[in-house]
Amino acid sequence: MRIEAIHLGPAKASELRTVASVRAHAGKGLEGDRHFREYGAKPGQALTLVEADVVEGAGLPAGGTRRQVTVRGTGLNDLVGKRFRVGDVECYGVELCEPCEHLESMTRPGIIKELVHRAGINADILTDGTISIGDTVAEL
């Protein structure tokens, strides 16, 4: 899998911004994102990833699922419970990132059912580093 897009959401804004790269901090999250926590992110809230084919298949725009990293390729769900690398950043797949009512309120009715078990994964960031468009995502 390869990173196709990176979307960050500032704390007060509902709009996501697209960036070419972002600094990842172990145990804290992605610099500049609403989920970044200086004193430690909750397990599974440091990083979210989704497959581009799922986003496109749902008819959503890039970033439409509100996940931070969009990858091209399949097998993302297989990383739950495993260590993997996003570029030079080591991560751990915590759980599936299921669609929620907030996503449905920002998109359309029925999106929850359509994306159940396909809306990406939540991960912990284990090492500091930079994540960039074009980087690979691979199981360790």
Q: Considering the chain, what is the average pLDDT of its residues? A: 92
Kindly give the residue spans of alpha helices, DSSP state H, lying in 1-140: 52-57, 101-106, 111-115
Q: What is the pLDDT of residue 75?
A: 95
Q: Which residue segment(s) compose the domain that 13 sits in?
A: 2-139
Q: pLDDT at residue 14 above 70? A: no
Burial 60-71 (b: 16+ CB within 10 A, else e): beebbbbbbbbb
Q: What is the pLDDT of residue 124?
A: 97
CATH of the domain at 119: 2.40.33.20
* Number of domains comprising the chain: 1
Q: State how beta strands 2-8 and 69-72 pair.
A: antiparallel
